[in-house]
Amino acid sequence: MGASDGTIIGTTKIVDNGPASKRWNLVIMSEGYRLSEMGQFAVDAQQIANALFVTPPFTQLTSAMNIYRVDVASTDSGADDPIACGGTGAAPDTFFDASFCANGIPRLLVVDNITALKVANAQVPEHHMVMVVVNSSQYGGSGGSVAVISKAPSATEIALHEMGHTAFGLADEYESYRGCGSGETGQDTFSGAEPFEPNITIDTNRATNKWRHLISAATPMATTRNANCAQCDPQPSPVPAGVVGTFEGAGYFHCNIFRPEYDCRMRALGFPFCAVCQERILKTLSPFNPTPPAE
C-alpha cells in the first residue's frame, strides 16, 4: 500500500488572498477518497476553510491566508482500522497509508508523512502547513509535521485542534494520554523541565509565569490544584470562563503542569482557543497580513 495505490489529480486554490510568496499557505489533501468521491472531498475541504474563517482569532486575519486543495485519489475508501485497537481489521489500499491505532490509541490517526510532504512540496512549494483529510467517519486525528483528521461529525473541530499543533506549536492541554476513564498509569505527576510549548507550564509564580501579562492580579496562583494526582481533576472552574490563570492538569499529566484557562480547544473540542493560544496564532499569521490601505 502507498503511493502506488492512487493518483495525484491536481491542485485548486480555494481561498485566494494573494501570491503564495506573500501569504501563509495551507494545503488540504485527500486520503482514502476514490476517484468517484473527489467531489465530496471538494465539499469537505471547503467546509474546513469556512470553519477556519469564522473561528477567532482567524477572523482577524482572513486576508493573510491562502488555502489550496490537492486532489489525491486512492484505490479504496477509508483507512486501516487495526483489530489491535478493537477495530474491524479493514486495510484499504490508500495513497498515504492512513491508519487508526497509532501507538495503540484508537483515535490516533496517522498517514505516511514523508509521502504527504513530498506531494505538498511538489504541488504547493511555498506551503506553511499540510493537512490530510481521511475519508472515514470514525473519530480520529493527529498533529505533527502533517495534520491528519477524519470525517467524524466533529471534523472541523478536529481540524482546528490539530492545526493548533502543526501550525502553531501548541501542546495538548488535556490531562490524560489515553483518556481520563482509561485506567492508564504513569501520568500522575509531571517531573520534567519547563515545556517549550507556549500554552503549558510548570511555573505558577505570578512574577515569572510565561503568560503573566494575561493574568489579572485578582486571579489566584495556582488557580486550581488537583487534590488527587492519581486521577484527572473533577472540580469545576472556580473562576468565570475566559479567565487566564494556572489550572493544574495538562500535557497528558494530572499534576505539576498547568494550562492557561480552564477550557480551551487544545483541551476539549467545541471550546474557543484560550487567550494564550490565540496570541500565538496571531503572532504567527500577522506578518502575512497585507498592509492596510493608507487613510
Q: Which domains does the chain have, with CATH numbers?
A: 6-168 (3.40.390.10), 172-273 (no CATH)
d(CA 169, CA 143): 9
Q: How far apart are the first and last CA of the chain?
A: 57
pLDDT at position 183 is 87
Neighbours of 211 (CB within 10 A): 20
Q: What angle do CA 262, 264, 281 make, to 5 degrees?
A: 130
- Element containing residue 221 per DSSP (H, E): none
pLDDT at position 159 is 98
Q: How confident is the model at residue 71 (pLDDT cuts 50, 70, 90)?
A: very high
Q: Is 281 helix (H, G, I), strand (E, B) or coil?
A: helix
Question: At residue 234, does pLDDT exceed 60?
Answer: yes
pLDDT at position 293 is 40
pLDDT at position 292 is 53
- Kindly report the average pLDDT of the chain as a whole number: 95
Question: At residue 108, does pLDDT exceed 60?
Answer: yes
Q: Is 104 helix (H, G, I), strand (E, B) or coil?
A: helix
Predicted confidence (pLDDT) per residue in 137-146, tens digit: 999 999 999 9
> How much is the average pLDDT of 273-284?
98
pLDDT at position 294 is 40
Amino acid in the structure at residue 53 = F
Which one is predicted more confidently, 194 or 292? Answer: 194
d(CA 214, CA 199): 12
Q: Is 1 helix (H, G, I), strand (E, B) or coil?
A: coil
Q: Is 255 helix (H, G, I), strand (E, B) or coil?
A: strand
Q: In Å, what is the CA distance from 264 to each residue of 99, 130, 170, 194?
A: 27, 23, 11, 20
> How much is the average pLDDT of 13-20?
97
pLDDT at position 28 is 98
Question: At residue 175, does pLDDT exceed 80?
Answer: yes
Within 13 Å and on the Cβ side, how many CA atoms surround 179? 7
pLDDT at position 205 is 98
pLDDT at position 182 is 87
Predicted confidence (pLDDT) per residue in 31-65, tens digit: 999 999 999 999 999 999 999 999 999 999 989 99
Asked if 236 and 229 count as a contact pair (C-beta separation under 8 A), the reply is no
Q: What are phi and psi of 64, to 5 degrees?
A: -85, -10
> How much is the average pLDDT of 75-95?
97
Within 13 Å and on the Cβ side, how many CA atoms surround 169? 9
Amino acid in the structure at residue 92 = P
Integer Rg of the chain from CA: 20
Question: At residue 295, does pLDDT exceed 70?
Answer: no
Residues 161-200 as b or e (16 or more Cβ within 10 Å = b) = bbbbbbbbebbbbbbbbbebeeeeeebbebeeeebebbbb
Q: Please state whether the peptide bond connecting residue 57 to the residue before it is cis, i.e. omega within 30 degrees of 0.
A: yes
Question: At residue 94, does pLDDT exceed 70?
Answer: yes
